[in-house]
Chains A and B, each alone.
Chain A
Amino acid sequence: MSDIIEKTLASLPKLFSDGPRGSPGEKTMPQKKIMGRAFQGFLCSVSRCRSLTEEKTYITHELKQIQESLNRTDVSQGTVGELLFRLIYCHLLGYDVSFGFIHTIKLAQQGTGLEKRMGYIAAILLLHQDHELSLLLMNTIQKDLQSTNILDNCIALSAVCHLVQSDGGVISMMLPLVQKKLQHPRELVRMRAACCILRFIRLTPSYQRHLQDNCRKLLYDKDPGVMSIGVKIQLQLLKSGLQSIETLTSDLCSILQQIMNRSLPSSFEYHGIPLPWLQIDILRALACLGKENKKNSESMYPLLRDLLDKFNTKARMSYAVMYECIVTITRIVPHRALLTEASVRVKRFIGSTSYVLKYIGVKALTHLIAVSPESITDCQMIVVELLEDPDPAIQSKTVDLLFSMANESNVKVVCSKLIEHLARPRKDFSESELIDRILTLTEKYSLDGVWGYDMVLTILREERSGLPRDMVDRVLNQLSQVLNYPRDTSRQVPEAVQSLVKKSVQGLFQENCSKELVKIASWVLSECSFLLKNMPDDKVMSLLQKQFLRESLDTLTRLWILSCVTSLLCGGIVQPGVVTKAVRDMRDRCVSFCDTTQDYTLLQKLLECERLCAQPLTVDPQGRDLTQFDFTLSYLDDFVCDSLEGETKPYIHKNLRMSPLKVDPLFSGFAENAGSGSVASDSSGKPTKSATSDSKNVDLKLEGVSRVWGEEGFLEPDTSVVDSHHAESDQKQRELEKKQELAAALFSGFHSQSKSDAQDKERKDLWSEDVPLNLNSTSLDWRALSAEESERKGSSTEEMDRQEADRRDPGSVLLDLSDQEKSTEGVLSQDPLSVDDTEHVQQGHEQSCGESQDSKTTTHQHEQSVGLSVNQKGGGGIQGMNYLSREPPPLSFESFPEDRIQDSSEQFSGLYDGVEEEEDDDSESQGDSVYSLSQLDLDTVRVRGEVRGSGAVCDSDSDGGSRQGSELSLYSQYQVLEDSHDSEHNEKVS
């Protein structure tokens, strides 16, 4: 099928270029066209245009003609419709067709039937909700909503969906009409009305409360299509946090159960999967409901488990549902066994050869890792390989995964990988996010500060456009924690601080580092200026000077450098003479390269520096407290007195001044003095340490500094070890080793965790014990929750049985139910996951049946046993399985030996916990001859039949009694068939 399409489509361009000589093929067009010959001719001429200019001349000419014709009054409505569709085509090609907008509205208003429809379609396509002209259509929409014509209703509702805008009273005007349509007898209309409601809720959340009742009713609609929209609306309500109905969980669960039992019409199946869209919406809603809600989560567990087991892995759609199911499992209150199951599925996703599935697998793993970190241990190698994947989309998803799996022990490797990723060519918007993530990691796991600083320096090694805005602040915050060690002359400066300074100097040696690096490094140098004592002053100064004179720097960064120079000077690290020379040089250059716009801030700061050099202000090495600031400015007293004795006027406050004063010499001098004073107090306020005690510890070797810098990497020691070990082995082996090394480093945090987890599990599985799988909470039937309390126990064991049987026979995943859809199935390539493990189970199944059955009937049996009783195509004794798909017939409480039931129910709940435990229980139960659980479903049914026979409790009356509730259910019509089969079976068994 797909081949044919492929061929037909592949020959098309040739057909176009070759013209009549190309072989046309036998293409039939059964359906009628709306447009006439002229329209087709128009399209042909457009597609015949050889060049863009030719097309442009033709279309501008055509548009002019269309405009003329539209403005004429004698054209028929059909012609107007055709002209409008020409406009749509021109619009598609990118031409301006705004002159036709008003005609679309006119046609929708005046036309009837098809013409009206064409007008609406054109309006929907050409206008949008914020367009001013769309308001003109509202009156027409209202009229058509009240019409008795269903098609008019439908198209008007579509228009409401597309064109009603959020503000203004338009929604409130439309709402009553749309609400009325929710009661329309035809589901086609109801569905569209429901879509409109969903749209309204999205646009104006304030309507949510008002519409809640309507939305609730939609959930019980008898048409599955309308119900799907109802679930969508509930999901929207849940997301906005407004929904608080208690019974919603059980309702959604029972809908899901029904879908899984295939009690809904088969026309809603998609490639053999019943209502996948609805399933996904329900799963999402359940994820919202079960989040941090233990009670809700518990009622979902059995259902989710069932769903995971039932997947038909041949259809692509089932992967979508499976992914959503896994996400739901990770969102709700965690359940160990389910998470283990989910991790098995995720592994298959990731190991798939299909890129699409790999991508989804990585996404699912990212979700999974947040709740159960140990699940990743099995797919280490795959993850490491995915990091090197040629597809950037998969790479970026893997980076997400890395970020979420970072922990104390692997954070260094993760970060180095992230930085490696940063070096690859990419778009700007993801760069910012990536840097943000690295920063977050360094903040979260700041082991010693030095490593984090290293990361930052690596990021900033070159100019980047996508840096987070608060990056410098975040880094400085982090650094100040490291620098904030107890200042004590007797103790040595911590190793970390020394290396910070060393790295800053190294960083400044780079010619083209980013300006953020310059800022951060100069801040570090000024904070720890005392550590630079050993460095020759001219070297430090020339370093700063070189950075200062870089053309690409802005004023702000230069000011950072200057304040660093100032604090070095005040700390007595550099000699005033050296600084004066350097500052003069800087000023000259500064004036020369910014001649057009003088940068006065910079010049002033430079002058201040020069002043400071002239009167060197040595700072008390022990540092002074902030309290020692001289806020009265007493040191200016002499100066002020001298000036006042002269001709100068006293200072008048700005508010008291009547007219703007001329700036007199007093204030110009004042500014400079105050400036230098503030600088001095600034640096003196900083607690600095006596340089004499440190001089021994600090030895900054500046030769070869850049070389060390360039080769620094985290994996280097590891790989070199590996290389030496495997020097003789071939290249491939070495690469593999490298990857394993990386994997070991990456997943180091998870090994220990998982080990301890395993131990935990051996001892006692706490999680699964305190969460009993109470199956009564999920009714099998649509809202038929009326099973009597006295019957609960009996039915629960049966349900357990059924669940057990389902779970034990994953052979059903091999079932191909997509026969009906086969005609188009081939269009997509299929990527089935491996289902090896299911095969041997199936073999066991066949043996246990003890009959000569081919595999087809075996799977068929299973299909029925799990309640896939839609098709009813099985014959003979196999039909006996049928009643399992329904709510099991109740067992009379009195006549059944009570201890036995309890015994079995305990067994079953134990069985449900985990695979390991299951086998133990199996062996036990084999001793118990009645409940031989190692047999598969057919046997289980027989056994149950025996039990019933002996108990003489199973008669059709009680069977019918329990279903009285379900008679009221909305989907009872789909269950009639099953009922008849059930009774048939009951007779047989008993």
Chain B
Amino acid sequence: MMQFMLLFSRQGKLRLQKWYIAHPDKLKKKITRELVALVLSRKPKMCSFLEWKDLKVVYKRYASLYFCCAIEAEDNELLTLEVIHRYVELLDKYFGSVCELDIIFNFEKAYFMLDELLLGGEVQETSKKNVLKAIAAQDLLQEESEEPKSLLEEMGFVSGP
């Protein structure tokens, strides 16, 4: 069972966190801090697995984002790596070509998607199509009147068309 999943940037800024076990906030913060420092200090040539306390940590870097999962001792590390990859694929498919900004500004979507993929620390839906279908169904819930705004426009980087 997965214990938690963290997404953080190369600068060590947390972008997403999802906990499948109950910890008080203080402990969560401590774990996050230690783990982020540990993973960031790893060299690129090293393998993606770590033993940390009684957990195993599996991490993978995609561009500037680190995806980091903690699993139990008897879990399969390679499989967890593929869960991370599947999540990235889903994000990629949904956002077009995903980048860190997409996750910052649409973190609620990222959470929705993670919830579809994993439930209670176990991989729930293994079919990519079904996950995307479920997300599409949620999108239909949204009000139609809301106009899609380009992210960059929002930030003032470009003037609107």
Residues of A within 8 A of B (CB): 4-6, 8-10, 12-13, 15, 19-20, 22, 24, 27-37, 40-41, 43-44, 47, 85, 88-89, 92-94, 96, 113-114, 117-118, 121, 124-125, 128-131, 151, 154, 158, 161-162, 188, 191-192, 195-196, 198-199, 202, 225, 228-229, 232, 265, 267-268, 270, 275-278, 280, 316-317, 319-320, 323-324, 354-356, 358-360, 390-391, 393-394, 396, 429-430, 823-824, 827-828
Could you say which residues of chain B place their CB within 8 Å of the CB of A124?
115
Q: Known: A191-B124, A429-B53. Contact between A33 and B63, CB under 8 A?
A: no
A202 to B1, CA, bound (A): 10
**Distance of B13 from chain A, by nearest CB (Å):** 8
- Evaluate contact between A129 and B22: CB separation under 8 angstroms: yes
- Evaluate contact between A117 and B141: CB separation under 8 angstroms: yes
A208 to B112, CA, bound (A): 31
Q: Which B residue sits closest to A78, measured CB to CB?
A: B143
Contact with A along B79-117 (1 / 0, CB 8 A): 101100110110011111111110011111101100100
Q: Which B residue sits closest to A273, measured CB to CB?
A: B82
**Chain B stretch 39-53: residues in CB contact (< 8 A) with chain A:** 43, 45-51, 53
Could you say which residues of chain B place their CB within 8 Å of the CB of A12?
64, 99-101
- Evaluate contact between B123 and A277: CB separation under 8 angstroms: yes
Q: Known: A36-B146, A94-B29, A824-B89. Contact between A121 and B108, CB under 8 A?
A: yes
Q: Which A residue sits closest to B48, measured CB to CB?
A: A356
- Evaluate contact between B64 and A10: CB separation under 8 angstroms: yes
**Distance of A203 from chain B, by nearest CB (Å):** 10
A228 to B93, CA, bound (A): 24
Q: Known: A29-B151, A151-B141. Contact between A24 and B158, CB under 8 A?
A: yes
- Evaluate contact between A113 and B141: CB separation under 8 angstroms: yes
- Evaluate contact between B46 and A277: CB separation under 8 angstroms: no
Could you say which residues of chain A place their CB within 8 Å of the CB of B22?
128-131
A113 to B154, CA, bound (A): 27
- Evaluate contact between B85 and A40: CB separation under 8 angstroms: no
- Evaluate contact between B65 and A9: CB separation under 8 angstroms: yes
- Of all A-B residue pairs in the complex, the 3 with the closest CB atoms, nearest first, are A9-B63, A355-B47, A320-B78
Contact of A195 among B63, B122, B128 (CB under 8 A): B122
- Evaluate contact between B122 and A198: CB separation under 8 angstroms: yes
A6 to B29, CA, bound (A): 29
- Evaluate contact between A32 and B125: CB separation under 8 angstroms: no
Could you say which residues of chain A place their CB within 8 Å of the CB of B62?
5, 9, 827
**Distance of A971 from chain B, by nearest CB (Å):** 16
**Distance of A704 from chain B, by nearest CB (Å):** 42
Mostly helix, strand, loop or mixed at chain A's interface?
A: helix
A118 to B108, CA, bound (A): 9
- Evaluate contact between A192 and B119: CB separation under 8 angstroms: yes
A430 to B17, CA, bound (A): 27
- Evaluate contact between A22 and B157: CB separation under 8 angstroms: yes
A92 to B97, CA, bound (A): 24
Q: Which A residue sits closest to B105, measured CB to CB?
A: A43
Could you say which residues of chain A place their CB within 8 Å of the CB of B95?
29, 31
A283 to B126, CA, bound (A): 17
- Evaluate contact between B139 and A31: CB separation under 8 angstroms: yes
CB<8 Å pairs between A and B, sample of 19: A5-B92, A8-B97, A9-B100, A10-B63, A13-B11, A27-B150, A34-B109, A34-B142, A92-B14, A92-B107, A129-B22, A158-B119, A265-B127, A276-B82, A320-B78, A320-B82, A355-B45, A355-B47, A393-B51
Besides the known contacts A43-B104, A280-B79, A430-B51, 9 further A-B residue pairs in the complex with CB atoms under 8 A apart: A22-B157, A29-B150, A33-B106, A33-B146, A92-B16, A114-B143, A162-B20, A162-B120, A359-B77
Q: Known: A198-B122, A359-B47. Contact between A316 and B112, CB under 8 A?
A: no
Q: Which A residue sits closest to B46, measured CB to CB?
A: A391
A36 to B50, CA, bound (A): 40
Could you say which residues of chain B place their CB within 8 Å of the CB of A94?
14, 29
Could you say which residues of chain A place their CB within 8 Å of the CB of B51?
393, 396, 430
- Evaluate contact between B99 and A9: CB separation under 8 angstroms: yes
Could you say which residues of chain A place their CB within 8 Å of the CB of B63?
5-6, 8-10
- Evaluate contact between B78 and A360: CB separation under 8 angstroms: yes
- Evaluate contact between A31 and B94: CB separation under 8 angstroms: yes
Contact of A9 among B64, B107, B125 (CB under 8 A): B64
Could you say which residues of chain B place their CB within 8 Å of the CB of A10?
63-64
Could you say which residues of chain B place their CB within 8 Å of the CB of A121?
108, 111-112, 115
- Evaluate contact between B150 and A394: CB separation under 8 angstroms: no
- Evaluate contact between A199 and B120: CB separation under 8 angstroms: yes
Contact of A151 among B76, B77, B138 (CB under 8 A): B138
- Evaluate contact between B96 and A117: CB separation under 8 angstroms: no
- Evaluate contact between B106 and A195: CB separation under 8 angstroms: no
Could you say which residues of chain A place their CB within 8 Å of the CB of B93?
823-824
Q: Known: A195-B120, A277-B126. Contact between A270 and B146, CB under 8 A?
A: no
B148 at the binding interface (Cβ < 8 Å): yes
- Evaluate contact between B125 and A225: CB separation under 8 angstroms: yes
Q: Known: A30-B96, A32-B146, A121-B111. Contact between A225 and B126, CB under 8 A?
A: yes
- Evaluate contact between B127 and A268: CB separation under 8 angstroms: yes
Q: Known: A85-B108, A125-B111. Contact between A275 and B126, CB under 8 A?
A: yes
**Distance of A92 from chain B, by nearest CB (Å):** 6
- Evaluate contact between A32 and B139: CB separation under 8 angstroms: yes
A89 to B93, CA, bound (A): 24
A151 to B112, CA, bound (A): 13
Which residue of A13, A125, A324, A824 has the most chain B CB atoms within 10 A of its CB atom?
A824
Could you say which residues of chain B place their CB within 8 Å of the CB of A278?
126
B37 at the binding interface (Cβ < 8 Å): no
- Evaluate contact between A827 and B125: CB separation under 8 angstroms: no
Contact of A114 among B14, B45, B50, B141 (CB under 8 A): B141
Could you say which residues of chain B place their CB within 8 Å of the CB of A5?
62-63, 92, 97-99
A19 to B112, CA, bound (A): 30
Could you say which residues of chain B place their CB within 8 Å of the CB of A161?
119-120
Could you say which residues of chain A place their CB within 8 Å of the CB of B50?
393
**Distance of B107 from chain A, by nearest CB (Å):** 7
Q: Which A residue sits closest to B58, measured CB to CB?
A: A356
**Distance of B50 from chain A, by nearest CB (Å):** 6
A36 to B108, CA, bound (A): 13
A130 to B24, CA, bound (A): 9
A40 to B104, CA, bound (A): 10
- Evaluate contact between A29 and B148: CB separation under 8 angstroms: yes
A354 to B45, CA, bound (A): 9
A40 to B106, CA, bound (A): 9
**Distance of B77 from chain A, by nearest CB (Å):** 7
- Evaluate contact between B137 and A151: CB separation under 8 angstroms: yes
